[in-house]
Amino acid sequence: MKFDPNTTALVLIEYQNDFTSDGGGLHDAVRPVMEKTDMLANTARAVEAARTAGVTVMHAPITFAEGYNELGKHPYGILKGVVDGGVFVKGTWGAAIIDELAPAEGDIVIEGKRGLDTFASTNLDFILRSKGITTIALGGFLTNCCVESTMRSGYENGYQVVTLSDCVAATSVEEHDNAIAYDYPMFSTPMTAEEFSSGLS
């Protein structure tokens, strides 16, 4: 596939210390898949290629106020794990975007992500449409959660969705592999970071 940099955005979902870094509250859970995919190095290469080509680079961190008052009184599922783990609290090291992928001048930081689907609680769709973006390439955490939720909404909203299969990680190899094999092809065009970068040249 070939991509027009003027109508393409690379969306980086939750590359935050609580996931990516030693000492992060959820790092041990995702470490095996991160190591399997080498996702941080692959993402860095994709970002470099995107910036060089003039692609819009967007960062979508998830953050909560201390006490998680944005959530209901009885969170369940993945968000209960966030609360129980005390992760992604605004202003903390754990919630910060990893230094290696810190926003550069010209990047866009999407604010307000409080749930799984990046479209649901942010102005992502407004910004994409305002900039004339028609193709979004996704990487980040978790393969089968926030990335997949964003992928599905992007598909439903009419975007050409690309999922970067070696720029994502989940809490188990089985969950990761299942999403890549069975879910991603239904709602996106899965490809590697190298394939995406090659499509920009």
Q: Using one digit for the tens of pLDDT, what is the confidence trace for 56-85?
A: 999 999 999 999 999 988 999 999 999 999
Which range among 71-80, 89-98, 135-144 shows the weakest confidence by mean pLDDT? Answer: 71-80
Rounded CA-CA distance 66/115 in Å is 16
Place of tokens 């994409």: 128
Residue 37 vs residues 18, 32, 96: alpha-carbon distances, Å? 18, 9, 22
d(CA 95, CA 118): 16
Calculate what percentage of the chain has a pLDDT beyond 90: 98
- Percentage of the chain beyond pLDDT 70 is 100
The answer to whether residue 191 scores a pLDDT higher than 90 is yes
Task: For residues 112-139, give the mean pLDDT.
Answer: 97
> Given this model, what pLDDT does residue 101 score?
98
Instruction: Describe the strand order of the beta sheet including 8-13 as a list of residue ranges.
Output: 108-109, 56-60, 8-13, 135-141, 160-169, 189-191
Does the predicted TM-score (pTM) go above 0.95? yes
- If you average pLDDT over residues 30-34, what whole number do you get? 98
- Reported confidence tier of residue 102, pLDDT bands at 50, 70, 90: very high
Other CB atoms within 10 A of residue 93 CB? 12
Instruction: Name the phi and psi angles at 127, rounded to 5.
Output: -65, -45
Q: For residue 48, what pLDDT is reported?
A: 98
Asked if residue 201 has pLDDT above 80, the reply is no
Mean pLDDT of the chain: 97
